[in-house]
């Protein structure tokens, strides 16, 4: 007969309550910032053109919504963003896989790509405007340029670090080039591709603002620019806040889950939740 | 499981866009109901909730020839029916009536 010894239960910290605590702490930080901002407005004593209060910004937001300006600008920006991000990602993955698989192409393209990588997208926008005029083409091209490089380099790393043993095993089983790519190289490159996409998506968001300031007559970037031009600084701040919140939503709802799912399925087995 | 959030976010976006589109169709139908048959290239008074800004003038110029802006009303010529329906669907357009240019 054995006596069972009851060990004290070591309950793992509950994920849900941890998340709630994190959200509450984050919200407290935002509220603290807003309170400090509101209190500082009379102390600073400048007009709303120089230093609008949170209530001015809220009023500007309501006004922009009532007049239908913000929804249209937001939709235009998102359309350009999704188009540029998609095209840049597809191009980056394609070129990355190509360079990763062919040493000769890598040697030929490497100096050119390094050279182009050094030229920021803002420098290209005036040239794009000359070639394609103001509007969506120029903006999408600028975004493609921004997204292309992080996706390319991360894809390249993923392709080059594909386990050789797996590639050899597939080849010895009679797999053709396409099957090796499909079953060994692309799956092992996927975590890198998704990481590149996440980085590129962040860069593209910044690029979108630059491009819209220079080459558009609508969009959130244009709103940010137009606000200061028309002495409606509160509108500029609305644009900035919308930009920030949209990025948080995209990252939270799409990029982070996608990266987590990819890493769990094809990459490292660490819980991505712990890393953030 | 991990992709539940993206799926839900996409569903919310689709529902919001669908609702927006349906509301615009309904609003357009409601605002133009009293006009009867629309002229192939008609003249109209577009009344807004507020004095139009540059954004609204540019948007209206895409629909036809903007002739004049008087306080909250924009006077337009050469507006095709499809363009007028699109304009009337905007929630910031309060009312649309024929413009008798006499």
Q: From the CA of B55, how many Å to the nearest CA of chain A?
A: 7
pLDDT of residue A26: 84
Instruction: Provide the token pair at A186.
Output: 């692309």
Three-state DSSP class for A232? coil
CB-based contact, B58 to chain A, within 8 Å: yes
Query: Does position A271 have pLDDT exceeding 50, yes or no?
Result: no
List the 154-193 stretch of A: residues with Cβ below 8 A of B.
none
Quick one: average pLDDT of A163-170? 88
Three-state DSSP class for B75? strand
pLDDT of residue A61: 97
Contact A66 B58 (CB under 8 A): no
| Cα angle value B11/B13/B17 (rounded, 5°) | 120
| Cα angle value B15/B17/B19 (rounded, 5°) | 65
Contact B92 A72 (CB under 8 A): no
Contact B58 A217 (CB under 8 A): yes
Q: Which residues of B touch A264 (CB under 8 A)?
A: 2
pLDDT of residue B1: 53
Are the C-beta atoms of residues A158 and A193 closer than 8 Å to each other?
yes
Contact B5 A253 (CB under 8 A): yes
Number of helices (H), then strands (E), in chain B: 3, 4
pLDDT of residue A150: 93
In angstroms, the CA A248 to CA A26 distance is: 13
pLDDT digits (tens, 9 = 90+) for A121-155: 888 888 999 999 988 999 999 999 999 999 999 99
Q: Which residues of A touch B53 (CB under 8 A)?
A: 67, 69
Chain B residue at shortest CA distance from A262: B2
Contact A68 B5 (CB under 8 A): no
Contact A257 B5 (CB under 8 A): yes
List the 4-23 stretch of B: residues with Cβ below 8 A of A.
5-6, 8-9
Total length of chain A: 276
Q: What are phi and psi of B42, to 5 degrees?
A: -100, 170
pLDDT of residue A10: 54
Q: Which residues of A touch B55 (CB under 8 A)?
A: 67-69, 72, 218
Q: What are phi and psi of B79, to 5 degrees?
A: -100, 125
In angstroms, the CA B25 to CA B9 distance is: 24
Total length of chain B: 102
Intervals of chain B under pLDDT 50: none
Are the C-beta atoms of residues A193 and A208 closer than 8 Å to each other?
no
Choose, out of B4, B6, B51, B59, the residue to mutate when testing the contact with A (most A CBs < 10 Å).
B6
Q: Which residues of A135-172 are buried (b: 16+ CB within 10 A; e: fewer)?
A: ebebbbbbbbbbbbbbbbbbbbbbbbebeeeebeebee
Q: Which residues of B touch A261 (CB under 8 A)?
A: 2-3
Which carries the bigger pLDDT value, residue B75 or residue A17? B75
Q: What mean pLDDT value characterizes chain A?
A: 87
List the 213-252 stretch of A: residues with Cβ below 8 A of B.
217-218, 249, 252
pLDDT of residue A259: 85
Which carries the bigger pLDDT value, residue A23 or residue B20? B20
| Farthest CA pair distance, chain B | 67
pLDDT of residue B90: 94
Q: What are phi and psi of B62, to 5 degrees?
A: -70, -20
Judged by average pLDDT, the poorest of A6-20, A75-89, B70-84 is A6-20
Query: Does position A114 have pLDDT exceeding 50, yes or no?
Result: yes
CB nearest to B50's CB, from A67, A72, A258: A67
């Amino acid at each position: 007969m054995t006596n069972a010894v009851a060990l004290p239960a070591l309950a793992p910290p509950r994920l849900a309550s941890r998340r709630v605590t994190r959200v509450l702490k984050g919200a407290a930080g935002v509220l603290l910032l807003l309170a400090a901002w509101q209190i500082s407005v009379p102390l600073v004593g400048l007009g709303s053109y120089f230093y609008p209060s949170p209530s001015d910004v809220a009023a500007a937001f309501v006004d922009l919504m009532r007049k239908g300006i913000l929804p249209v600008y937001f939709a235009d920006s998102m359309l350009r963003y999704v188009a540029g991000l998609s095209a840049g990602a597809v191009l980056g993955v394609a070129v990355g896989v190509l360079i990763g698989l062919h040493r000769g192409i890598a040697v030929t393209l490497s100096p050119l790509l390094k050279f182009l990588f050094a030229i920021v997208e803002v420098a290209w926008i005036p040239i794009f405007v000359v070639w394609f005029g103001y509007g969506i083409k120029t903006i999408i091209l600028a975004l493609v340029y921004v997204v292309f490089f992080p996706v390319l380099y991360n894809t390249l790393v993923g392709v080059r670090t594909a386990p050789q043993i797996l590639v050899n095993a597939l080849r010895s089983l009679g797999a053709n080039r396409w099957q090796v790519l499909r079953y060994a190289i692309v799956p092992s490159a996927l975590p890198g591709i998704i990481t590149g996409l996440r980085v590129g998506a962040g860069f593209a968001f910044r690029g979108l603002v630059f491009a819209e300031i220079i080459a558009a007559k609508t969009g959130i970037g244009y709103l940010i620019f137009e606000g200061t031009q028309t002495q409606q600084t509160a509108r500029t701040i609305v644009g900035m806040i919308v930009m920030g919140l949209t990025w948080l939503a995209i990252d939270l709802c799409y990029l982070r889950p996608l990266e987590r799912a990819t890493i769990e399925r094809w990459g490292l087995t660490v819980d991505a939740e712990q890393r953030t | 499981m991990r992709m539940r959030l993206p799926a839900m976010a996409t569903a919310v976006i689709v529902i919001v866009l669908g609702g927006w589109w349906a509301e615009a169709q309904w609003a357009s139908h409601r605002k133009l109901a009293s006009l009867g048959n629309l002229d192939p290239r008609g003249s109209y008074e577009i009344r807004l909730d507020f004095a139009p800004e540059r954004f609204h003038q540019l948007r209206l110029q895409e629909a036809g020839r903007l002739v004049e802006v008087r306080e909250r009303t924009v006077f337009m010529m050469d507006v095709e029916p499809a363009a007028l329906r699109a304009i009337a669907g905007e929630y910031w357009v309060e009312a649309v009536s024929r413009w008798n240019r006499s």
